[in-house]
Amino acid sequence: MLTAFARAFKTPDLRKKLLFTLAIIVVYRIGTNVPIPGVDYRNVQTCIDNAEANSGLFGLVNMFSGGALLQITIFALGIMPYITAAIILQLLTVVIPRLEALKKEGQAGTAKITQYTRYLTVALAILQGTGLVATARSGALFQGCPVANQIVPDQSIFVTITMVITMTAGTAFVMWLGELITDRGIGNGMSILMFISIAATFPSALWAIKEQGSLADGWIEFGTVMLVGFVMVGLVVFVEQAQRRIPVQYAKRMVGRRSYGGTSTYIPLKVNQAGVIPVIFAASLLYIPALIVQFSNSTAGWATWVEANLANPAATAHIILYFLMIVFFAFFYVAISFNPEEVADNMKKYGGFIPGIRAGRPTAEYLSFVLNRITWPGSLYLGLISLVPTMALAGFGANQNFPFGGTSILIIVGVGLETVRQIESQLQQRNYEGFLR
């Protein structure tokens, strides 16, 4: 990986792209530390320093925003509205025929879907910004903080609207920065910003574990966590690279005097075909009951049960339900993102077939069979990786933002591998030696 980056900086064109990407990252990180108007920044810092208040229900969103959510800065919402909008559009593509037709139109249809994603991102940013402001005003953003009710001193309508507009504009600006990286930089812009947001929380989280440790001034706990992190990264890289290759043979076709086809290729089916999406789905849905209890301030029996089980990440009910939801959403997302019948029809249209399998419906059934078999280990792997923060919570006394949690490691490793692949592919295009040397 480091060799690829070193070679890229020696190539003038790639060096410009890398420096441009780094400049955008600097701008993004500056924006995550600029507070929005109407917020008492001193009270916010007081609540962030409060360990009990810092372990609330907003850990996942705070991680995706690079810690900007709890600081209530102009980039507080980060890229979460865009991620949510992209997932919603992807799900709607399966349900709405118009979107499915746009997806098949090629570049023009993709551009139209991207435009719809931008509009939905702004709408979700307004909705989430309003919810964040209401949560901060009520004091529910930092539970257990003595000055949580004083984060927004002026609770007038004008100040509230100004805060929501500022955060919405910040989300739109972050979306623009991501698209700039995609067009003029290296890698997928949104993925790069997500990578930076998560990586930015690592130093403070690791140092917090060292400060909370009791063995040899915390260095033993720190070293243990680092060792666990390296093992997890190696495991995630191994599984993320694992794939089942379905061989495909294309028959020869004569068009005039030219011969087409006759080649052999394969269909790569990854073990973790769903990526990190099932983890995000499960965590988001599991937070909803706890948020309802938090806003309702109810003391009924059901509210007490939710706080003791679903809102507590160390509770047995929370662990079991979280694991089962991840497994379910892994199968659900694979089912809507990979259509065996469509793949089989395309193969049949271009004269392709799997050796030993008849074209058409038998091919679709075979692909479904293989996909279901490899999704089982992939979904179990996702569930086990996602439970690492819970084990860290019990073993090291860490908070829910454990740096080597399943979601963070999956995203960092996935984005890192994809970025290095793009750099290496561009290096090969610029340093092609040819057949004759």
pLDDT at 391 (0 to 100): 66
Fold of 1-200: Preprotein translocase SecY subunit (1.10.3370)
What is the percentage of the chain residues whose pLDDT exceeds 90? 9
Residue 55 in this model has a pLDDT that exceeds 50: no
Confidence class of residue 437 from pLDDT cuts 50, 70 and 90? Answer: very low
**Reported pTM:** 0.79
pLDDT at 173 (0 to 100): 93
What is the percentage of the chain residues whose pLDDT exceeds 70? 83
Confidence class of residue 27 from pLDDT cuts 50, 70 and 90? Answer: very high
CATH architecture type of domain 241-432: Orthogonal Bundle (1.10)
Task: Looking at 96-156, list the stretches that DSSP marks H as alpha helix, in order from N- to C-terminal side.
Answer: 97-103, 107-138
CA-nearest of 78, 84, 90, 101 to 32 is: 78
The per-residue pLDDT for range 246-289, each reduced to its tens digit, is 888 887 766 666 666 567 888 888 888 888 888 878 877 777 77
On the question of a common fold for 1-200 and 241-432, the answer reads yes
pLDDT at 180 (0 to 100): 92
pLDDT at 225 (0 to 100): 78
Compute, in degrees rounded to 10, the torsion defined by CA atoms 230, 231, 236, 238: 110
Mean pLDDT of 132-150: 77
Confidence class of residue 54 from pLDDT cuts 50, 70 and 90? Answer: very low
Confidence class of residue 436 from pLDDT cuts 50, 70 and 90? Answer: very low
Higher-confidence residue: 296 or 319?
A: 319
pLDDT at 397 (0 to 100): 53
The per-residue pLDDT for range 330-357, each reduced to its tens digit, is 898 888 888 888 888 888 887 788 888 8
Higher-confidence residue: 125 or 40?
A: 125
pLDDT at 102 (0 to 100): 83
pLDDT at 403 (0 to 100): 61
Residue 429 in this model has a pLDDT that exceeds 50: yes
The per-residue pLDDT for range 150-169, each reduced to its tens digit, is 788 878 888 889 999 999 99
Higher-confidence residue: 257 or 41?
A: 41
Higher-confidence residue: 16 or 286?
A: 16
Higher-confidence residue: 173 or 12?
A: 173
Largest CA distance in the chain: 83
Average pLDDT of every residue of the chain: 80
Taking the C-alpha atoms of residue 124 and residue 174, their distance in angstroms, rounded to an integer, is 14
pLDDT at 176 (0 to 100): 93
Q: What share of the chain is helix, strand, coil (3-state, %, to 5)?
A: 70, 5, 25
Distances in whole angstroms, Cα of residue 240 to Cα of each of 156, 244, 377, 384 = 49, 12, 12, 14
pLDDT at 126 (0 to 100): 92
User: Where are the domains positioned within the chain?
Assistant: 1-200, 241-432
Helix (H) or strand (E) holding 343: helix 340-349
Structure tokens at 105: 């139109």
